[in-house]
């Protein structure tokens, strides 16, 4: 593969950031924004996007374990939001206009996360963050939920379906969602919950697409044991655009929104697309059982987010993979 190909993909990716988000850009030009999980995959992408929009000041809250390089011009707030002392640390950062709560613990980061660790990272952290903010100064806030809150239910998933998670991670995120909505209903906060489905994109270090591409790069045969399982993948620039649009949509406060393209595709089909783009290695597809605690189908309705925003994710899976896969091969 030509070494210039990944560079061309990165240029295309930058163009996606520049041409999107043409409306209401001025809302963030003089804003002060706080992001938890600012050193993670989504956090770093969001910071870069906000800087393109001309955001006046960005506060990045993280634990000091920087998985990604934080862009320059960002105020660091190093603390563990699951600890009570984090409340004073965040308060000391001053008032903010917008909040994005992207921090948390996922089942991808630990093989078998302990339920208490998940509860502390995904629920207690949200409680502490909510208590640290002067909400009278906040214009909009988004808490990151997940498709894992739905579990095995009828698809496409609708936001008004009762949560039925299949694992501890899903239950912890569902509890956090209920807390966020409760805070808004009580007049204590302004959270909107964005339930992201299977996110991917340049800079991601874990996940199915990353593991598959790395194995193909090594010339290995990658076994897809549950190729019939389906997902609804969303490219990172679409996720970021959705988060920003929800933040400045005042009507979204107290609402739960699916953040997905609304297109179901099997894991096997995704693997074949990645293999075709990578051009190396081999894949084998099987119809085995999904891993314990996983859900069979993931496909979300975009009807609600379209009604609120007049927008839905629009980057096709093929386009997103053609940008993402070369960046993994080039590492």
* Strand 265-266 with 221-224, pairing: unpaired
Q: What is the pLDDT of residue 325?
A: 98
pLDDT in tens, 291-319: 888 889 999 999 999 999 999 999 999 99
Q: Is 90 exceeded by the pLDDT of residue 186?
A: yes
Locate 112 and state its tokens: 């078998």
Q: What is d(CA 225, CA 288) in angstroms, rounded to the nearest whole number?
A: 5
> What structural domains and CATH numbers belong to the chain?
4-204+234-262+300-315 (3.40.50.720)
pTM of the model: 0.92
Concatenated DSSP letters of 166-225: SSHHHHHHHHHHHHHHHHHHTTS--EEEEEE-SEE-TT--SSHHHHHHHHHHTTPEEEET
Of residues 1 and 286, the one with the higher pLDDT is 286
Q: Is 50 exceeded by the pLDDT of residue 6?
A: no
Q: What is d(CA 67, CA 38) in angstroms, rounded to the nearest whole number?
A: 10
| Residue 41 and residue 102 in contact, taking contact as beta carbons nearer than 8 Å | no
Q: What is d(CA 205, CA 295) in angstroms, rounded to the nearest whole number?
A: 22
Q: What angle do CA 178, 162, 148 make, to 5 degrees?
A: 75
Name the DSSP class of 121: I
Mean local confidence (pLDDT), 267-273: 97
Q: What is the pLDDT of residue 288?
A: 83
């Amino acid at each position: 593969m030509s070494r210039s190909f990944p560079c061309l993909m990165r240029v295309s990716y930058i163009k996606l950031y520049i041409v999107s988000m043409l409306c209401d850009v001025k809302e963030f030009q003089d804003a002060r924004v706080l992001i938890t999980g600012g050193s993670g995959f989504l956090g770093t992408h969001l910071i870069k996007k906000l800087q393109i929009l001309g955001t006046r000041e960005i506060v990045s809250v993280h634990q000091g374990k920087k998985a990604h390089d934080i862009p320059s011009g960002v105020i660091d707030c190093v603390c563990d939001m699951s600890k009570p002392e984090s409340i004073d640390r965040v308060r000391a950062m001053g008032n903010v206009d917008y909040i994005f709560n992207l921090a948390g613990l996922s089942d991808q980061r630990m093989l078998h996360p302990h339920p208490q660790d998940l509860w502390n990272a995904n629920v207690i952290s949200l409680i502490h963050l909510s208590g640290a903010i002067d909400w009278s100064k906040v214009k909009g806030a988004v808490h990151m939920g997940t498709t894992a809150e739905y579990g095995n239910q009828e698809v496409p998933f609708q936001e008004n379906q009762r949560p039925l998670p299949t694992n501890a991670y899903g239950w912890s995120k569902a509890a956090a969602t209920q807390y966020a909505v409760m805070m808004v209903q009580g007049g204590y906060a302004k959270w909107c919950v964005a339930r992201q489905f299977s996110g991917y994109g340049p800079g991601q270090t874990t996940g199915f697409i990353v593991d598959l591409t790395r194995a193909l790069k090594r010339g290995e045969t990658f076994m897809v044991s549950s190729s019939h399982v389906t997902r609804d993948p969303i490219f990172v620039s679409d996720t970021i655009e959705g988060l920003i649009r929800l933040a400045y949509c005042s009507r979204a406060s107290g609402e739960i929104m699916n953040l997905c393209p609304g297109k179901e595709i099997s894991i096997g089909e995704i693997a074949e697309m990645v293999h075709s783009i990578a051009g190396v290695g081999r894949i084998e597809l099987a119809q085995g059982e999904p891993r314990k605690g996983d859900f069979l189908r993931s496909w979300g309705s975009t009807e609600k987010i379209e009604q609120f925003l007049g927008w839905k994710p629009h980057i096709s899976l093929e386009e997103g993979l053609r940008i993402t896969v070369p960046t993994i091969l080039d590492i």
